[in-house]
Amino acid sequence: AQSVTQLGSHVSVSEGALVLLRCNYSSSVPPYLFWYVQYPNQGLQLLLKYTSAATLVKGINGFEAEFKKSETSFHLTKPSAHMSDAAEYFCAVSDRPSSNTGKLIFGQGTTLQVKP
Amino acid sequence: DAGVTQSPTHLIKTRGQQVTLRCSPISGHKSVSWYQQVLGQGPQFIFQYYEKEERGRGNFPDRFSARQFPNYSSELNVNALLLGDSALYLCASSITMGQGIDEQFFGPGTRLTVL
C-alpha cells in the first residue's frame, strides 16, 4: 500500500534561510507525489507534483522538490524563507494502483515557522 | 473563476445528530472528493464521486454517505454524530477522476464541532 512519512512535525527557520521539509514515500509502483500547503483556516493549495517526468520539480512561490528513487524521498526546498511561507505543509501520494480513483494519501503534515 | 465552495463554514452539532455538508465544484469539473482532517493530522479520504457515481470509498463507517447531483455539486451526510467526527471536512474537485494526474482543487472546508 502507498504511504508517505513526513519527518519533523515542526520546522523553524529564520527569514532568508533555507527551507527543507522532508518526505519519504512507500509505493509498489512509480509514485505520483504532491506537496500541498495549508494556511490557517483555509483549504489545501497545490505547490507542486511529480508524475514521472523530470526528477526536479519546480512549483509555485519559489518551492521545488527532488524525486530520489534510491532514497524513496521527495523533499521540499526553498532557498530563502519568507514570512508568508509560515503554514502547514503536506506531502501526499496517489493511491494508484490500489484504487482507480484520485484518492490521495497524505502525511501527517509539517508546520513551518518563519522567524524574523 | 470561482473556486470550490463549501457550506456552511462552521457547524456545531451534538452527539447523535445528523449533519449535511455541501460542496460546489469548479465549473467544468465532474469529480468531487471528500476528505476528513482531524486537528493535527493530514486529510483522510472519505469518498470520490465522478459523473454522479461513487467511484471510491475510504475506511469510514456507514454513518458516512454522500451523493453527487446532475450539476456535479455534492453533499456529504453524517448520521449519529460522535465526538470523534469533529474535524475539518474538505471537498476537492477535478476535471476527471484524477488518478494522480489531474490537479485536485480544494475548498476552504467546513469545520464541524460535535459536542
Q: Is B83 helix (H, G, I), strand (E, B) or coil?
A: helix
CA distance B89 to B87: 6
Distance from C-alpha of A54 to C-alpha of B77, rounded to nearest angstrom: 41
Question: What does the pLDDT average to over B56-82?
Answer: 96
| Residue-level pLDDT at A31 | 86
d(CA A59, CA A46): 9
Predicted local confidence at residue A59, as pLDDT: 95
CB-nearest to B99 from A49, A102, A108 is: A102
Q: How confident is the model at residue B4 (pLDDT cuts 50, 70, 90)?
A: very high
The whole-number pLDDT of residue A1 equals 78
B94 versus A41: the higher-pLDDT residue is: B94
Tell me the pLDDT tens digit for each residue of B32-67: 999 999 998 999 999 999 999 999 899 999 999 999
Q: Which three cell numbers stand for residue B8?
A: 456552511
Assess contact for B74 and B49: CB atoms under 8 A.
Answer: yes
Q: Find, in chain B, the residue whose alpha carbon is nearest to that of A92.
A: B42
Q: How confident is the model at residue B71 (pLDDT cuts 50, 70, 90)?
A: very high
Q: Is it the case that residue B78 has pLDDT exceeding 90?
A: yes
A112 in Cβ contact with A21 (< 8 Å): yes
Per-residue pLDDT at B70 = 95
Cβ–Cβ gap B106/A99 under 8 Å: no
Q: Tell me whether residues A103 and B48 touch, CB distance under 8 A.
A: yes
Q: What average pLDDT does the structure give for chain B?
A: 93
DSSP assignment string, A19-32: EEEEEEEE-SSSPP
Write out pLDDT tens, residues A87-98: 999 999 987 766
For residue B33, the chain A residues in CB contact (below 8 A) are: 101-103
Q: Is the pLDDT of residue B101 over 90?
A: no
Beta bridge partners of A4: A25
Q: Which of A42, A95, A102 sits opposite B108 (nearest CB)?
A: A42
Q: 65-104 in A: which are within 8 Å (CB) of B?
A: 90, 92, 94-96, 99-104
Contact A23, A4 (CB under 8 A): yes
Among A residues 12-41, those touching chain B with beta carbons less than 8 Å apart: 32, 36, 41
B96 has pLDDT over 90:
no
Q: Residue B99's pLDDT is what?
A: 67
Give chain B positions within 8 Å (CB) of A5.
none
- Closest approach of B80 to chain A, Cα-based (Å): 26
Option in A94, A101, A107 nearest B55 (CB): A101
pLDDT reported for residue A98: 63
Q: Which residue in B4, B45, B55 is closest to A104 by CB distance?
A: B45
- What residues of chain A score a pLDDT lower than 70? 97-99
Mean pLDDT to the nearest integer, B92-100: 80
Decide if pLDDT at B92 tops 70. Answer: yes
pLDDT of residue B62: 96
Q: How many CB pairs under 8 A join A and B?
A: 79
pLDDT number for residue B15: 97
Amino acid at B115: L
